[in-house]
Amino acid sequence: MRGSGKLAAGALAGVLLAGAPAGTAAAAGDPVRAAVGHLVAEGGFPGAVAWVRNGEAVSRFGAGYANRVTREAAGPHHRFRTASNTKAFVATVVLRLAGEGALSLDDPIERRLPGVVRGPGYEPEKITLRMLLNHTSGVHDPLDPHFFDPYLVEGNRAYVYPPSEVIRRSLVDSPSFAPGTDVEYSNTGYLLLGKVIEQVTRNDVREEIQRRILDPLGLDRTYFPLRSPFLRGPHLHGYDLSGQDMTVFSPSYDWTAGAMVSTVDDLATFHRALLAGRLLKPAQQAELERLVPSGEFGAYGAGVETINLPCPGGPKTVWGNTGAGPGFYSVSMSTEDGSKQIVLALNVYDLAKDVAHEDPLPSSPLPAIAAALC
């Protein structure tokens, strides 16, 4: 199920790196602001919003339009669909449950969700929660090329895919590989983790995220929609490459893999707390940061990822998440030492192009990321 909220690491790196040597970030004055402005002025994005930290100095700004029709200026107060940035919130809840002894990352999915993972070649007794967290389970997304037809062909943007149906459709085809033998990005794995959270806590996963993360950190502009295709309050409008407005789109298919909505400030606060070890006990923080290489461009941890960022002095490993879904693309990354951080939200991502294995972005956001973190 390509396009369901995240590119695989190799494909993502290809999008980031295509035609974007690190040196293009250099500019007089504020190089990050210049690079973000370039994404709008010449890069093909109607709007962009950025939050940037260097040490304790923070700047937040927008460029271009939140809405192409009304020409409302894009600003840091605008919400956007975070797509796969959601996974870090979900992984945090799973890891906290592990720290409380409510579950073990070595638990097989069959123990936590008996009878759910059924399909040709699947071995649910060998698929652990850790494998779901770091994308080594072999559970893939729906391979049916018509999966997104209700939205993209039939035009029903409010169409509801219950998570259980997405899981069922994912398991129709054989697994990508035997559990633990390889790595491949899986949104469906995170739908299963959402089900595990609800099974263990006997509570709505959204309430667990609210109680454990959003409320303690004061993230009052972040929320987790279930079915509604509309965004609340001031928000960016998201577009495909043809300029079609994709803002109204049911998040149901993405659920715990990518349905959350946030702002650059809230996402920055969350990732800083998470990567600084303020949300997890040391043993679970180590699990978060235990990396599985996914090619030359980066690696996956438990709900987070690393990217080997090309910098003038040589590659630099940065940590965080990226998110890609209909109309929206975002990056939330920090340097390994936590001294520099950027959250960048852009309002073009072409789901139909992604499904067709074509480039879903008008240009690479790498210069802005490199300007902030190199």
pLDDT per residue over 18-59, tens digit each? Answer: 434 333 333 448 999 999 999 999 999 999 999 999 999 999
CB-CB contact of 195 with 203 (8 Å)? no
The boundaries of the domain holding residue 329 are 31-373
Q: Is the pLDDT of residue 16 over 60?
A: no
Q: Is residue 21, in this structure, part of any structural domain at all?
A: no
Residue 139's pLDDT is 98
Q: Is residue 189 part of a domain?
A: yes
In a domain, 198, yes or no: yes
* Number of domains the chain contains: 1
Q: How far apart are CA 87 and CA 257, in angstroms?
A: 6
Q: Which amino acid type is present at position 261?
A: V
Distance spanning both ends of the chain, measured CA to CA: 33
Express each pLDDT in 253-300 by its tens digit: 999 999 999 999 999 999 999 999 999 999 999 999 999 999 888 999
* CATH code: domain of residue 277: 3.40.710.10
Given a cut of 80, whether residue 8 has pLDDT beyond it is no
Per-residue confidence at 97, pLDDT binned at 50, 70, 90? Answer: very high
What percent of the chain lies above the pLDDT cut of 90?
91
What is the model's pTM?
A: 0.94
What's the mean pLDDT in 151-171? 97
Amino acid at 197: I
CA distance to 40, 272, 297, 320, per residue, from 338 (Å):
28, 8, 20, 11
CB 178 within 8 A of CB 244: no
The answer to the question of residue 13 being in a domain is no
Q: What is the pLDDT of residue 332?
A: 98
Rounded (10°) CA dihedral 95, 250, 261, 320: 50
**CA geometry: angle at 46 spanning 42 and 52, to 5°?**
85
Neighbour tally for 252: CB within 10 Å: 20
Q: 66-96 pLDDT, tens per residue?
A: 999 999 999 999 999 999 999 999 999 999 9
pLDDT for 54-73, tens place per residue?
A: 999 999 999 999 999 999 99
Q: What is the spatial distance between Cα 247 and Cα 347, in angstroms, rounded to a whole number?
A: 9
Q: Is residue 11 part of a domain?
A: no
Would you state the pLDDT for residue 29?
81
Q: What is the distance between the alpha carbons of residues 143 and 194, in angstroms, rounded to a whole number?
A: 21
Report whether pLDDT(2) > 70.
no
Q: What is the DSSP letter of 108?
A: B
Residue 309: C-alpha distances to residues 17, 111, 185, 358 (Å) = 9, 39, 20, 23
| Contact criterion met (CB below 8 Å) for 190 and 4 | no
User: Which residue, 50, 75, 84, is CA-closest to 260?
Assistant: 84
Q: Which helix (H) or strand (E) holds 247?
A: none
Does any domain span residue 3?
Answer: no
Per-residue pLDDT tens digits for 184-215: 999 999 999 999 999 999 999 999 999 999 99
Specify if 314 maps to a domain.
yes
Is position 238 within any domain? yes
Q: Is the pLDDT at 162 greater than 60, yes or no?
A: yes
